[in-house]
Structure 1
Amino acid sequence: MNITNVAALAVQLESLGFNGLRYDLLRKICFMPHSFFLSFTSESENDKVNFEISFEMASSDELYKLMYYDAILAAEKNFQKNEINGIQLAELEKSFEKIDWAALFNPSTFKDWKADDKNSWDTEQRVATLIEQVRELEKTPEGKAYANDIRSRFWGAIAYYNLYCPFKVIKDKQGFVQRFYFFENQPSITVNECIRFLRHQKLVKEFNIKTKASFSSDKSSKDQKQTSESKGKRNYAKANRKGKAIE
C-alpha cells in the first residue's frame, strides 16, 4: 500500500468538499481492491444530495485515482397514506427513532443478557417487532417503496449494518442524477458547485412542469371555447335551414 498515494487522495477529497472520508479511504485501500466506491451525503437548505465516489487502481503502478462521482439530489417522497398494509407509518417512524441503530450494528458493542431478564434484551425484541412490520410493508409495491425509504434513512449511512440486517438498502437514484468525471490537469467540480447545478436542474424541471400545465389549461379552455362557438354556428345554420324550409 502506497501511503503517499492515499494521503494525496485524502487531500483531493477534502479540497472538493468530501470531508470526513479520510479513514474510510484508508480502510478501503488497505484491502487492495481493483476498484471501490465511497459514499457521502450532504444536507442543506432542505435538499439531500447523495454521492457515490469511484476509485480505481492503475494496473501499471498500483496507485489509486479518482475516476468520477455520481451525485443524486433525492426526489421528495410523498407517501399520501397514513397506513399501509395495516402498519401505522407515523408510529413506525417513532419506533425507528427510539433505536440506537449505530450501536446495534457496531460489531464491537458487547452486552450481556439473560433469558429470564427481559430488560436485558428489550431493545432486540423491539427491533424484531420492527422487522416484522417492515416485512409486512413489503407485501405491496407502495409498502416496499416506503420500507426501502425508511431503511435508507435510518441504516444507509451506518457501517456494518449489512453484517446483521436481512435487508439490502437500495440506494435511491430517483431524482436529479449527474455524473462528474475527473480529468488530469483539469479543475474538478466541487460538492458545492455540484449542488448548485442540481438545484438549478430541479428548478428548471419544476418551471417546465408549471409552464406545461398552464399551457395545457389554456389550450383546454381555448378548445372548449372553439367547440362551443362551432356548436353555436351549427345550431344557427340548422335553424336557418328549417326557417327556409317553412317558407
Structure 2
Amino acid sequence: MALRDTFRSLSRPVLGAGLGLGLAAAVLLPRLPAFAEEAPRRLPEAVTRSAEPAGPHVAAFAGGCFWGVQGVFQHVRGVTSAVSGYAGGTSAEADYRTVSGGGTGHAEAVSVTYDPGLIRYDELLRIFFSVALDPTQVDRQGPDAGRQYRSALFPQDAEQAQVARAYIAQLDAAKAYARPVATRIEPGAAFYPAEGYHQDFMALHPGHPYIAVNDAPKLEALRVLFPERTVPQPVLVNRPPA
C-alpha cells in the first residue's frame, strides 16, 4: 500500500476538512520514514527547442503520485488542462486498485494540454524536471515505491521524443544532479483518465497530510523558481459552473 493510501484510510471521514485535517494528522508525520531527494532547482533552458504549430498540444508526464504532478501543471501559464490518469498498460486494467498492484505496466501520469504560443514542450520539460519530481529515483518517488510510480515521459510524436531525449542528455552532460536522470521515454503509450476523486486533488484538499508533506513544496518551488510561469488559480478538471 502506498503511503498516501494509509493517509486516505486514516482521514477518509473528513477528507474535505482542509488545513484542519493536516493539523489533526500532524502527530503521525514524525513517524514517517525520511527519503533523501534532489532539491528543486531552476534548471537551464533546453538547447533543443520545440517547433510546434499553433493550436492545442498534449504531452504526458509521470513523476510518482499524480496528485502533485497535476497540481504543479495546473498552475503553469499556458496550460489549459491537466488530467490525472494512467499511461501505458491496457484499458481493462486502468483503474486505481489494479494499477496500485504494480504489475499492469501503467504509470500514474498527467496528460497536459497546452498552448505552444505561451509555453513550448521543452519549457514544460524544464518545469517538470525542476520542481515536479526527483528524476534520479528509479521506480519510486519519495515514499511511494513501485513501477507505477516511475519517472517517465510519454511523447505524443517524434518531435516530442527528440526534444525529451535531448534535454535529458543535456542535464546529464551538465551533471545537473548527483546521479544520472532515470526518467524513461516511452512513446506510443495510451493514456486513461483516473477516477474522478483523484482529479484536482491538491486544489481540493490542500491540508491533506500527504499533500502537505510531499506535494505542497513542489507548488511552492514552482512559485519561487518560476514566478513568470505561474498562475495563481489552478486550471481545474472539474470546473465550477460560471
TM-score, normalising length from structure 2? 0.22
Higher relative contact order (CA 8 A, sep 6+): 2
TM-score, normalising length from structure 1? 0.22
Which of these two proteins has the greater Rg computed from alpha carbons? 1
